[in-house]
A and B are shown apart, each in its own frame.
Chain A
Amino acid sequence: MQIYRSHVLICNDSTCAQLDSGKIMEEFGAQLKKNKLENEVKVLTAGCPGMCEQGPVVVVYPEGTVYTMVKPENVKEIVEEHLLKRKIVKRLLHKDMMEEGDTPAKALDDTKYFKKQLRIALRNCGIINPEDINEYIEHDGYKALEKVLTGMTPLEVIDTVKKSGLRGRGGGGFPTGLKWEFAYKSQDDEKYVCCNADEGDPGAFMDRSILEGDPHSIIEAMTIAGYAIGSKQGFIYVRAEYPIAVKRLDIAIQQAKEHGFLGENVLNTGFSFDIELRLGAGAFVCGEETALMTSIEGKRGEPRPRPPFPAVKGLWQKPTLLNNVETYANIPVIILKGPEWFASIGTEKSKGTKVFAIGGKINNTGLIEIPMGTTLREVIFDIGGGIPNGKKFKAAQTGGPSGGCIPASHMDTPIEYDTLVQLGSMMGSGGLIVMDEDTCMVDIAKFFLEFTVDESCGKCPPCRIGTKRMLEILEKITSGKGTEEDIEKLEILANNIKLSALCGLGQTAPNPVLSTLRYFRDEYEAHVKEKKCPAGVCKSMIHYVINEALCKSCGICARNCPVNCISGQRGEPYVIAQEKCIKCGTCMVKCPFKAIFKNV
């Protein structure tokens, strides 16, 4: 007698039969065959288990799993997940069989993706209508401003921000309260408050999200900052590539003025503050604070040496306070809930939360906000849902072109400003790109360097010439012409640029190279010594071959080859002409017999 490892019982009662149980039966047969399980799993019809209102019912033994309301299109999933991988398809389970918390989430807040998050900066994003000030007011909007203007002195406000432990969310992590204090202490007839919304890191979009979803929180925070440092004029420097953010900011500023939260005599307290928008033309360097201010002044966006720092001599040589969008978004909450509350979140040196834009090789891409000190593992596997297609995690890149990689061995390090710097990366504005085993780290370093070479403003030679030379060396290495000497040269050059460039852009530009060299030197060495790209990415070091034994000479590869470099005849295996091949990989994808391989 044939022994089956699993039995699938499908209710064939009249109610269920009406509900397509016949089709489900057929579909099981087809799917089992497709997965070559027909000798391991037996499908049987069964009588009514008495759950007709939830039919059609499918029961899988030996587990005794009861699936209800099964549709023919669910069968594939049950076969592939439950019968092949032995993972129960929870959302199809009968209600009584679900453990608590297993119910299919009806609201986003109930999902695992959301439960580990703590939303402070993003508190209103996606909740309120950004174009209606009343909705912001209902969510405690402008309450902090009222509290500040009616009951706090500027020094008390600054003290509150200092006590909260808030640090700059734009990347550097400078204590925000200290910045405010410096700007307060600088004596001058005019002072300015600026908001840096020139979000340029590839992959980061939290500033856009806040401006589009909750623009009033930035206006409120900037007005509070204006009161604290003694300024009457604010500027928001926002990318012109964010038209929706610009539109909503315009509407919000208008509404705030109508309601007396902005403009002359704010809330009848005698304090006046106005905000204007300035649109950036898309230069990455304008996200650097001194270049940003030069650009607001109407000049070409180029950085200038510090000191003097903006808090002393900023816009038009006047004391200027410059903070990032996400930093401002935290301010109203800190004022309302108190600095102690804020300081209780996070770690000793990094308080509060941080927003990350997670992308790359990860299942749940998106925008998340987590308490400082959360580990990379929690972010990637609990919130991010792990790596797609069962691939292995290799590294995560934080801080964009100014940051570096964190390898798998450091996955349990808590995410905070100082630990990331120790690892050779940085918090940055919050882009977090996940890379799996198929990513070549030399190629990644090259990608980020291409970006900085493009975006270098050209003012100082280390950045203008140095990064270009670094890129040339990397191109040499990835095209298989590199030598061991090149790696050394690259390292010396990187360290020199770091020490000598004028602004943050140049000083951090070598970071992607230095951090990949630190953790993945073996990959660089494989490229120059063995002329091999271990991840199989660098095109000059891979080639596609057809396995003679597996080839059925169907000719599909030849027909799909964009450069016609595959030839062959009936009855004989096909051959790829290597000198003509552009290594696009189409043939490997198209081959129905999996006879084409990528040789690394």
Chain B
Amino acid sequence: MKPIEKMEKTREGAIGQTTGGKQDVRMRIAVGMATCGIAAGAKQVMDAFNEELKRRNINDVKTVLVGCRGACRLEPLVEITGENGEMVTYVNMTPEKVARVVAEHVVNGRICIDYTVGTEVE
């Protein structure tokens, strides 16, 4: 296959990777893991998400690491994108907060409004 054709295929196949629109992925959890995020404890948050999802046997939710969104003071920063593309930003995350986010947001679709960015930024 020519590289350009291959790229077109990749592009087609890649659609939905980041939006969670792929059939087997209904939700995407992006954890900010640039230097700022890691320094603030993003690795522990990422581990906590993976553990919690595994414990609950949730297979259609994908966790990914992403770079810095520029709001380093709010790290660890987690952005959850649902099937409809709507994005929710959780800030100053901790492994303790993860359990509730998984239980309420991921499982029951209720946003944990008190953890979201709105309460931190005017």
Pair from one complex: yes
Confirm or deny: A146 has a beta carbon within 8 angstroms of a beta carbon on chain B: yes
Is there contact, CB below 8 Å, between A142 and B68? no
Query: Which residues of chain A are near B14, meaning CB under 8 Å?
Result: 134-135, 137-138
Confirm or deny: A436 has a beta carbon within 8 angstroms of a beta carbon on chain B: no
Is there contact, CB below 8 Å, between A214 and B67? yes
User: Which residue on B lies nearest to A105, using beta carbons?
Assistant: B118
CB distance from A404 to the nearest CB of B (A): 25
Is there contact, CB below 8 Å, between B66 and A127? yes
Known: A146-B7, A366-B71. A91 touches B119 (CB 8 A): yes
Is there contact, CB below 8 Å, between B70 and A107? no
> Can you name 25 A-B residue pairings with CB atoms under 8 Å?
A104-B113, A104-B118, A105-B116, A107-B79, A112-B122, A125-B67, A126-B32, A126-B70, A131-B65, A132-B17, A134-B13, A135-B64, A137-B10, A146-B7, A150-B4, A208-B35, A212-B67, A213-B34, A213-B66, A213-B67, A242-B35, A244-B35, A267-B7, A367-B72, A385-B121
Could you tell me the distance between the alpha carbons of A146 and B10 in the complex, rounded to whole angstroms?
Answer: 14
Is there contact, CB below 8 Å, between B4 and A209? no
CB distance from A102 to the nearest CB of B (A): 10
Is there contact, CB below 8 Å, between A104 and B38? no
Within 8 A of B (CB), among A230-265: 242, 244, 259-261
Query: Which residues of chain A are near B113, meaning CB under 8 Å?
Result: 104, 106
Q: Mark A188-218, 1 if CB is under 8 A from B, else 0.
A: 0000000000000000010011101110000
Query: Which residues of chain A are near B99, meaning CB under 8 Å?
Result: none
Within 8 A of A (CB), among B91-122: 111, 113, 116-119, 121-122
Q: Pick the contact of B117 from A106, A122, A213, A259 — CB < 8 Å? A: A106
Could you tell me the distance between the alpha carbons of A316 and B90 in the complex, rounded to whole angstroms?
Answer: 50
Query: Which residues of chain B are near A103, meaning CB under 8 Å?
Result: 118
Could you tell me the distance between the alpha carbons of A124 and B64 in the complex, rounded to whole angstroms?
Answer: 14
User: Which residue on B lies nearest to A113, using beta carbons?
Assistant: B121
Q: Pick the contact of A107 from B6, B72, B87 — CB < 8 Å? A: B87
Instruction: Return the 10 tightest CB-CB contacts between A and B, nearest first.
Output: A213-B67, A104-B118, A126-B69, A367-B70, A260-B3, A138-B14, A105-B118, A108-B89, A212-B34, A134-B14
CB distance from A185 to the nearest CB of B (A): 30
Is there contact, CB below 8 Å, between B72 and A108? no
Query: Which residues of chain B are near A368, meaning CB under 8 Å?
Result: 70
User: Which residue on B lies nearest to A209, using beta carbons?
Assistant: B68
Could you tell me the distance between the alpha carbons of A106 and B113 in the complex, rounded to whole angstroms?
Answer: 7
CB distance from A415 to the nearest CB of B (A): 17
CB distance from B82 to the nearest CB of A (A): 11
CB distance from B8 to the nearest CB of A (A): 9
Given contacts A127-B30, A365-B72, 7 further A-B contacts (CB under 8 A): A113-B121, A126-B67, A129-B65, A135-B14, A135-B64, A366-B71, A366-B72
Known: A106-B89, A139-B18, A244-B38. A132 touches B70 (CB 8 A): no
Confirm or deny: B15 has a beta carbon within 8 angstroms of a beta carbon on chain A: yes
Is there contact, CB below 8 Å, between A106 and B72? no
Q: Pick the contact of B6 from A124, A260, A369 — CB < 8 Å? A: A260
Is there contact, CB below 8 Å, between A126 and B68? yes
CB distance from A466 to the nearest CB of B (A): 35
Is there contact, CB below 8 Å, between B67 and A267? no
Is there contact, CB below 8 Å, between B7 and A142? yes
Is there contact, CB below 8 Å, between A138 and B68? no
User: Which residue on B lies nearest to A358, using beta carbons?
Assistant: B70
Query: Which residues of chain A are near B87, meaning CB under 8 Å?
Result: 106-109
Q: Mark A395-423, 1 if CB is under 8 A from B, else 0.
A: 00000000000000000000000000000
Is there contact, CB below 8 Å, between A113 and B38? no
Query: Which residues of chain A are near B3, meaning CB under 8 Å?
Result: 259-261, 266-268
Is there contact, CB below 8 Å, between B66 and A138? no
Is there contact, CB below 8 Å, between B117 and A108? yes
Is there contact, CB below 8 Å, between A130 and B66? yes
Confirm or deny: B61 has a beta carbon within 8 angstroms of a beta carbon on chain A: no
Could you tell me the distance between the alpha carbons of A266 and B4 in the complex, rounded to whole angstroms?
Answer: 10
Is there contact, CB below 8 Å, between B18 and A127? yes
CB distance from A201 to the nearest CB of B (A): 16
Could you tell me the distance between the alpha carbons of A106 and B86 in the complex, rounded to whole angstroms?
Answer: 10
Known: A137-B7, A150-B4. A107 touches B88 (CB 8 A): yes
Confirm or deny: A111 has a beta carbon within 8 angstroms of a beta carbon on chain B: yes
Q: Which of B64, B69, B73, B111 has most chain A Cβ within 10 Å?
A: B69
CB distance from A224 to the nearest CB of B (A): 15
Query: Which residues of chain A are near B32, meaning CB under 8 Å?
Result: 126
CB distance from B55 to the nearest CB of A (A): 23
Confirm or deny: B2 has a beta carbon within 8 angstroms of a beta carbon on chain A: yes
Query: Which residues of chain B are near A126, meaning CB under 8 Å?
Result: 30, 32, 34, 66-70, 77, 79
Is there contact, CB below 8 Å, between A129 and B73? no
Could you tell me the distance between the alpha carbons of A108 and B86 in the complex, rounded to whole angstroms?
Answer: 12
Q: Mark B14-38, 1 if CB is under 8 A from A, else 0.
A: 1111100000000000101011001
Known: A267-B4, A367-B72. A106 touches B118 (CB 8 A): yes
Is there contact, CB below 8 Å, between A132 and B64? yes
Could you tell me the distance between the alpha carbons of A107 and B64 in the complex, rounded to whole angstroms?
Answer: 18
Could you tell me the distance between the alpha carbons of A374 and B32 in the complex, rounded to whole angstroms?
Answer: 28
Could you tell me the distance between the alpha carbons of A146 and B77 in the complex, rounded to whole angstroms?
Answer: 34
Is there contact, CB below 8 Å, between B122 and A385? yes
Query: Which residues of chain A are near B88, meaning CB under 8 Å?
Result: 106-107
Could you tell me the distance between the alpha carbons of A366 and B77 in the complex, rounded to whole angstroms?
Answer: 13
Is there contact, CB below 8 Å, between B4 and A146? yes
Q: Mark A148-186, 1 if CB is under 8 A from B, else 0.
A: 001000000000000000000000000000000000000
Is there contact, CB below 8 Å, between A125 and B118? no
CB distance from B35 to the nearest CB of A (A): 6
Query: Which residues of chain A are near B79, meaning CB under 8 Å?
Result: 107-108, 126
Confirm or deny: A364 has a beta carbon within 8 angstroms of a beta carbon on chain B: yes
Is there contact, CB below 8 Å, between A138 and B11? yes
User: Which residue on B lies nearest to A243, using beta carbons?
Assistant: B35
Confirm or deny: A17 has a beta carbon within 8 angstroms of a beta carbon on chain B: no
Confirm or deny: A128 has a beta carbon within 8 angstroms of a beta carbon on chain B: yes
Could you tell me the distance between the alpha carbons of A214 and B117 in the complex, rounded to whole angstroms?
Answer: 23
Query: Which residues of chain B are near A242, meaning CB under 8 Å?
Result: 35
